[in-house]
Amino acid sequence: MAYCVVAVILAFLVGASAVHGSEPWWNETQVYSTNANSGGSNGVFVGLTLIQSAAAKGAVCLDGSLPGYHLHRGFGSGANSWLVNLEGGGWCNDVSSCVFRKGSRRGSSNHMERQLQFTGIMSNRPEENPDFYNWNRVKVRYCDGGSFTGDGSNAAAGLYFRGQRIWQAAMDDLMAQGMRYANQALLSGCSAGGVSTILHCDEFRGLFPSNTRVKCLVDAGMFLDTVDVSGRREMRSFFNGIVRLQGSGRNLPRSCTSRMDKTSCFFPQNVVPTIQTPTFILNTAYDVWQLQQSVAPKAADPQGLWSKCRTSYVSCNGNQLQFLQGFRNQMLDSVRGFSASRQNGVFINSCFAHCQSEKRDTWYASNSPRLGNKRIAEAVGDWFFERGDAKYTDCAYPCDKTCHHIVFRGDH
């Protein structure tokens, strides 16, 4: 049976301007909080570490505060293995949205939780996370609004765009904490953190000797350069704003910027073909964030024809499902060449969801989504440790009965 997760919209981050009307959504990639039982997870709570050396390097959050991370030490066979997870949480693309953002945990360590619970791939419990539970596991907090790529400032607005310096300061600090001795390492991230992972994957590989096993896991990071229901390219307009405002262009992968414009190189589909490091792409074919915010955003649907479909997949009519099948085809096309490489892995399931690696119920629970009878944790583990096949692509909706679909409580 398919599982349905009821969701509510988080509205605490607002203020980013869309190209055609003001929409309070771009700042918060985690657009839902579930009220589903997470499976009784007792994931460990891990304290925040501020990077004291960052200020001297100018590596600061949007408001000038210190960046940070949460580190839970590995043990036993995992003592020299490292999982570095880059936090997600949307972007800001203009001065007003970044000013708003700097008053939140997404723009200031002054507002960050002092402890985070580690679940899913971050869990310390073998029954919840069989392959990575005893690794050194790190959550790098996200407070720059530009997927760790910016390098600039706006003195008048009191904004610091220092994402690339935060990335470097965090990696320097973790290397000093023992990551330089790693015998294997995995960089991961969900949503905006998935974009960050793609953009920094080869940089991460470069931190280690060539004989160290280093790979990257991208969860819900395949934001497509797609046309919305009104014929506009909302994501392109938005990503262009980020790149221009934050000065991200010089820090995007040169393997892409040498052949394409800078905004195109913020789109994962244009970077993944050039990544040298083994990478695993985990994504839903019907990503609910993209459905709500870039495929059928309210601004592109003034008559509200998509309002019901946008909040619940079961309310989509035949024409809307056909449009969404076209989006699925674009998703599959975007990873086709990438998937052909033996070193890479894919798990693209036909679910209406977003982010599946950091929650126990979708990572490694008894009722987690499956493809080829493999749960996501098993597919990722097989790929990382080269235990077997790691290429899983689902049939089109509605064939998959193992999905944890997300349904929203009313349009927003």
Spatial contact of 357 and 86, defined as CB atoms under 8 Å apart: no
What span, in angstroms and rounded, lies between the C-alpha atoms of 204 and 84?
A: 10
- Give the SS3 label for residue 336: helix
Chain-centre distance for alpha carbon 282: 10
**Spatial separation of the C-alpha atoms in residues 79 and 183, rounded to whole Å:** 9
Band the pLDDT of 407: cuts 50, 70, 90: confident
Beta bridge partners, 219, equal 190, 282
- Would you state the structure tokens that stand for residue 408, as one six-digit string? 């929203």
pLDDT (0 to 100) of residue 34: 32
By annotation, the residues acting in catalysis are 191, 287, 354
Q: What confidence score (pLDDT) does residue 2 get?
A: 63
Residue whose pair of structure tokens reads 């997760």 in the numeric block: 5
0.75 exceeded by pTM: yes
| pLDDT category of residue 281 using cuts at 50, 70 and 90 | very high
Q: Is-contact 349 403, C-beta < 8 A?
A: yes
**Residue 47: beta bridge partners?**
115
Question: Read out DSSP for 214-234?
Answer: EEEEEES--------TTS--H
pLDDT value at residue 3? 61
Mean pLDDT within 351-363? 96
Residue 318 has pLDDT above 80, yes or no: yes
Strands (DSSP E) along 340-390, which ranges? Answer: 345-349, 370-371, 374-375
**Model confidence band, residue 42 (pLDDT cutoffs 50, 70, 90):** confident
Q: Give backbone dihedrals phi and psi of 289, rounded to 5 degrees, phi first.
A: -65, -45
Cβ pair 339, 350 in contact under 8 A: no
Is pLDDT above 60 for 16? Answer: no
pLDDT tens column, 2-14: 665 544 333 222 2
* Contact indicator for 125, 140 with CB cutoff of 8 Å: no
pLDDT tens string 219-273: 999 999 999 999 999 999 999 999 999 999 999 999 999 999 999 999 999 999 9
pLDDT in tens, 126-148: 999 999 999 999 999 999 999 99
Could you tell me the domains of the chain? 58-393 (3.40.50)
DSSP string covering 139-170: EE---SSSTT---EEEGGGTEEE-HHHHHHHH
Looking up tokens 């760790």 gives 148
pLDDT band at 369 (very low <50, low <70, confident <90, very high): very high
Q: Is the pLDDT of residue 39 over 70?
A: no
Residue 70: the pLDDT is 98
302: pLDDT strictly greater than 80: yes
Q: Is the pLDDT of residue 366 over 60?
A: yes
How many CB atoms are located within 10 Å of the residue 9 CB?
17
DSSP 232-299: --HHHHHHHHHHHHHTGGGGS-HHHHTTS-TTGGGSHHHHGGG--S-EEEEEETT-HHHIIIIIS-GG
Q: Where are the beta strands (DSSP E) in 306-362?
A: 345-349
Cα distance between the two ends of the chain: 28
